[in-house]
Amino acid sequence: MKVITFGEIMLRLSTPGYLRISQAKEFVATYGGGEANVAVSLANYGIPVDFVSRIPENDIGRACKMDLQKYGVGTDKIIYGGERLGIYFLETGAVSRGSKVVYDRAHSAISEIKPGMINWEKVFEDANWFHWTGITPAISQGAADACLEAIQKANEMGVTVSCDLNYRKNLWKYGKKCGDVMPDLVAGTDIVLGNEEDAAMALGIHPEGVDVTAGHVEGAAYESVSKQIMAKYPRVKKVITTLRSSVNANHNNWAGVLWDGKQLFESPQYQITHIVDRVGGGDSFMGGLIYGLLTYKNDDQKALNFAVAASCLKHTVFGDFNQVSVEEVEKLMSGDASGRVAR
């Protein structure tokens, strides 16, 4: 059993504590990016996983690769090329002030990737699962083409494909709209994660007969979107949505739903009252979901519950990567949220 993820990894520069960027005299350096975050989660859970990307062959690129290796992620499918690793700056919000991200990723190594640079047949020769996100095709035409190339080869080789639609309006800068590119990619995908905004912007799908502006979104909205996605893309077997309601920057309510074509599964809701770092929350959900679907065969409820509990715990961990174990997630799933010292 092996999972492959493909996308951009960046150098993350965070202000210490809750300082604003204008106040910072130094930054905390870590690494992160949607698909790499999923890979680290899976490695923590004992699932063999390779991360595929293109990074510069310099000290920053090599340090990034070493960081992934530290968590047990396979890096031998990463190719070298280009001149720089993308960077993002993070200012962590507090109470009524939201967090802020500033990107510095133009002309990054992966933005200049082209089809044919990666031997996908070799990448997938011992793989069972391939994961991509809507961030990758938003980077550049070359990245979108390479992503489509990977999906088509995965389909050809019988590899399960999952995606997080992850609509990011600030990234679609190269002349194509999200709705022009994403449908061809989703057509080759088996498992789809995304909320109603993602579905609307990426696929042109909106809830039918439900007012999503009413302040509380009912399950019927997600069932409607899920049914439409499955009708438009027959390959899709499950549609999953994360449910986040934000009381303030430090206090969120967190849950999820899963539609399998017949039934809508709903998870317990967690109140996360003292958020340490919410960046990577959705990726930790996806990592937990893939683990759950691979481990708890034919038990979509348990797979969903694992994903929600795993991503709840991620909010307590600094950095993009969710550094928690299966035992810790299952403990929270069992109802033990006491946070007592383990010794």
CATH number of the domain residue 8 falls in: 3.40.1190.20
298 within domain boundaries: no
209 — pLDDT class (breaks 50, 70, 90)? low
247 within domain boundaries: no
Amino acid residing at 139: I
Least confident of 166-180, 211-225, 307-321: 211-225
pLDDT in tens, 64-101: 999 999 999 999 999 999 999 999 999 999 999 999 99
pLDDT in tens, 296-336: 999 999 999 999 999 999 999 999 999 999 999 999 999 87
Name all contacts of 270-276 with Cβ < 8 Å and 24+ positions apart: 270/308, 270/309, 270/312, 270/337, 272/312, 272/315, 274/250, 275/249, 275/250, 275/251, 275/315, 275/316, 276/315, 276/316, 276/317, 276/318
Q: What is the pLDDT of residue 199?
A: 92
Structural domain count of the chain: 1
267 within domain boundaries: no
288 CB contacts (<8 Å, ≥6 apart)? 41, 306, 307, 308, 309, 310, 311, 329
The pLDDT of residue 214 is above 80: no
Amino acid residing at 125: E
The pLDDT of residue 153 is above 60: yes
263 within domain boundaries: no
157 within domain boundaries: yes
271 within domain boundaries: no
Least confident of 68-77, 124-133, 157-166, 269-278: 269-278
Percent of the chain with pLDDT strictly greater than 70 = 95
296 within domain boundaries: no
Query: What average pLDDT does range 103-109 have in this prediction?
Result: 95
Q: What is the pLDDT of residue 211?
A: 58
Query: What average pLDDT does range 229-248 have in this prediction?
Result: 93
Kindly list the distances between the CA atom of residue 190 and the CA atoms of 49, 158, 226, 260, 293, in Å, as whole numbers in the listed order: 19, 11, 13, 11, 12
Domain extent, residue 160, equals 3-238
Q: What is the pLDDT of residue 217?
A: 56
